[in-house]
């Protein structure tokens, strides 16, 4: 079934302990799409400038990303640059140039309006709400946000939470939104605000999912070498939503499977810069790593 993502397509300049790259393909909608494509065909709504490299457009087309909703505006593409510390923790932002993304006003093509699975990536919650007004009868709506919107668009964000099924947050954002230091209490408080499921992203410590009547925790896939954590959260969301979109039956076990697929696919993302790793692997690689992950985490009692 159709899978829609509304977010950013950007050019990133990144330094990590493993190296550095300049103006590589990035953005929330980008990472989401290259991850989701293993499970379902993603449809993108985003904006880029007239300087956006044609090679990146071709790359997205070649890997099954529908770009009918990608707008090309006169001006420069959204750019972000940052430096990661030795422990690959939160990066220091060196520069953010919103450029054409500053005036981004998502408009869905007519062919996108019947999309059933919607992911609202990290943009102004007012815009996220506007997107929902353009969709006919969505089945499942997921959304991401960040500390800036929690602080400066709280009213709009709280309105959004009443309309979505799944909220994706990291630990800091969950604490900011609720004022709760304990993560479990924070998660339960967020569920009370409207979403049916909360996906709490915990980086190298894995993922916690809380539902109205369910609770699931999984570790991250342990790697010998990390190159670039950029886009890991959006890659997780892409695989998560992609798995839901390809399943005919959505129940608690399907949600748990989606969490694990998200963790596995995101583990590939961080092994290289940009989407380089995601374009070099196939479904078999994901399934092979899933089999190892299942073996590593299995525990039987007599």
Q: Is residue 222 in some structural domain?
A: yes
Domain count, the chain: 1
Mean of pLDDT over the chain? 95
116-172 pLDDT, tens digit per residue, is: 999 999 999 999 999 999 999 999 999 999 999 999 999 999 999 999 999 999 999
Contact (Cβ atoms closer than 8 angstroms) between residue 63 and residue 30:
no
Q: Match 């190159």 to its residue by tokens.
A: 227
Give the domain CATH number at 137.
Answer: 3.40.1190.20
Q: Above 90 in pLDDT, residue 90?
A: no
C-alpha 55 chain-centroid distance = 23
For 205-230, what is the mean pLDDT? 93
Rounded-to-integer distance, Cα 40 and Cα 242, Å: 5
Looking at residues 86-102, what average pLDDT do you find?
A: 93
pLDDT over 90 at 253, yes or no:
yes
Give the up-direction half-sphere exposure of residue 296: CA atoms within 13 A in the CB hemisphere. Answer: 14
CB neighbours of residue 18 within 10 Å = 16
pTM: 0.96
Q: How far apart are CA 36 and CA 206, in angstroms?
A: 19
Q: Residue 302 — pLDDT band, cuts 50, 70, 90?
A: confident
pLDDT at 300: 87
Pairwise CA distance, residues 8 & 10, whole Å: 6
Confidence of residue 185 (pLDDT cuts 50, 70, 90): very high
Containing structural domain, residue 291? 3-297
pLDDT grade for 108, boundaries at 50, 70 and 90? very high
Q: Is 167 a domain residue?
A: yes
- Residue 248 pLDDT class (50, 70, 90 cuts): confident
Instruction: Report the distance separating Cα 267 and Cα 57, nearest Å.
Output: 24
Return the H-helix or E-strand segment holding 26: strand 19-26
Q: Residue 1: pLDDT band by 50, 70, 90 thresholds?
A: low
pLDDT digits (tens, 9 = 90+) for 19-69: 999 999 999 999 999 999 999 999 999 999 999 999 999 999 999 999 999
Least confident window among 43-52, 76-85, 231-240, 244-253: 244-253
Mean pLDDT calculated for residue range 181-187:
94
pLDDT computed for residue 89 by the predictor: 87
Answer yes or no: is 12 within a domain: yes
Quote the pLDDT of residue 249.
86
Q: Is 16 within a domain?
A: yes
Stretch 110-116: mean pLDDT: 95
Q: In this structure, is residue 302 part of a structural domain? A: no
Helix (H/G/I), strand (E/B), else coil: 253: helix
């Amino acid at each position: 079934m159709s899978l829609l993502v509304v977010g950013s397509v950007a050019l990133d300049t990144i330094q990590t302990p493993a190296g550095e790259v300049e103006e590589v393909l990035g953005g929330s909608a980008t990472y989401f799409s290259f991850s989701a494509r293993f499970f379902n065909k993603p449809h993108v709504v985003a904006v880029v400038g007239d300087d956006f490299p044609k090679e990146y457009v071709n790359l997205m087309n070649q890997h099954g990303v529908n770009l009918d909703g990608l707008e090309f505006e006169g001006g420069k593409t959204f750019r972000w640059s940052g430096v990661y510390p030795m422990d690959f923790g939160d990066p220091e932002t060196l520069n953010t140039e919103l450029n054409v993304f500053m005036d981004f006003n998502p408009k869905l093509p007519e062919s996108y309006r019947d999309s059933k699975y919607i992911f609202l990536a990290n943009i102004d919650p007012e815009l996220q709400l506007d997107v929902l007004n353009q969709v006919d009868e969505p089945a499942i709506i997921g959304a991401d946000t960040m500390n800036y919107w929690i602080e400066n668009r709280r009213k709009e964000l709280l309105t959004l939470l009443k309309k979505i099924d799944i909220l994706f947050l990291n630990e800091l954002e969950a604490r900011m939104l609720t004022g709760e230091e304990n993560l479990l209490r924070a998660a339960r408080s967020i569920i009370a605000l409207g979403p049916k499921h909360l996906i709490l992203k915990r980086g190298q410590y894995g993922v916690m999912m809380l539902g109205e009547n369910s609770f699931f925790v999984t570790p991250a896939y342990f790697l010998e070498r990390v190159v670039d954590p950029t886009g890991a959260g959006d890659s997780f969301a892409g695989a998560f939503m992609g798995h839901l979109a390809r399943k005919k039956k959505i129940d608690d076990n399907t949600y748990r499977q989606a969490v694990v697929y998200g963790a596995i696919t995101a583990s590939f993302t961080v092994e290289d810069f940009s989407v380089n790793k995601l374009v070099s692997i196939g479904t078999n690689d994901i399934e092979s790593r899933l089999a190892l992950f299942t073996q590593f985490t299995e525990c039987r009692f007599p």
